[in-house]
Amino acid sequence: MITDENTTIVQHIADSIADRIISGALLPDAPLRQDHVAREFNSSHVPVREAFRQLEAQHLVVAVPRRGVRVAPLDANSVKEIAEMRAALEVVALRNAAPKLTSSHLARIELALIEAENAQTIQNFEMANRAFHQALVAPCAMPRLLASLDGLQLANSRLVFAMARSSGWQPRSNQDHRVILQALRLGNVDQACNLLARHIQTIERLTLPAS
């Protein structure tokens, strides 16, 4: 049985390992041993298994037969899968969110956009970029869909850091985000959804570092 205390431990383990995977401290295909993780976090194996399940749902680890749990790959097929899943699901969420967007929601979206454009580090940019996409769809009030998108967004954050390590990163404006917001302000939901899908899928055309 998972108690409240164990739930806290599970989240701590999952968050710590997720941070390492997203930042690149844990490389693609790196093994994750239950006993090693349990020893590091001074826990039993039960919370570790639950944390691994959570990380797998977030597309950060994979359970490989006869090889155990490993950091998920970061190859062309993985990038394509993440981008296509995000594009499909985020558009569904935006279509359901758009009719419920208030001036307050739009202000939060714009704030995240501005914070991303003003970011001076890749860490701050990634946090603001994630906040922008979350704010776009939050009013859809579809918790299962939003949970799936949160996991995909974490996988996308991993790509952002990988590309920054490969090609460098400089502060810049994001015209895609601006035109999506403008379309929503004008009530052009179809245009906003098309722009969003195209924006997400551009990640497929970006070069990833060799793993």
Q: What percent of the chain has pLDDT over 70?
A: 93
Q: Are residues 116 and 63 in the same domain?
A: no
Would you say residue 175 lies in a domain? Answer: yes
Q: How confident is the model at residue 35 (pLDDT cuts 50, 70, 90)?
A: very high
Report pLDDT digits (tens) over 186-206.
999 999 999 999 999 887 666
Domain boundary among the residues 26, 56, 71 is at 71
Is residue 188 left, alpha or beta, with left meaning phi > 0 and alpha meaning psi from -120 to 50? beta
Can you read off the two tokens belonging to residue 70?
A: 């490993």
pLDDT for the residue numbered 74: 86
Contacts of 118 (CB under 8 A, 6+ apart): 171
pLDDT at 140 over 60: yes
pLDDT for the residue numbered 204: 63
Q: Are residues 41 and 93 in the same domain?
A: no
pLDDT for the residue numbered 202: 82
Domain residues for the domain of 139 are 76-205
Contacts of 41 (CB under 8 A, 6+ apart): 9, 12, 13, 16, 47, 48
pLDDT at 3 over 80: no
Q: What is the CATH number of the domain that holds 132?
A: 1.20.120.530
Q: Are residues 85 and 173 in the same domain?
A: yes
pLDDT at 209 over 90: no
Q: How confident is the model at residue 165 (pLDDT cuts 50, 70, 90)?
A: confident
Q: What is the chain's length?
A: 211
pLDDT for the residue numbered 1: 46
Beta partners for 117?
none
Prediction pTM value:
0.84
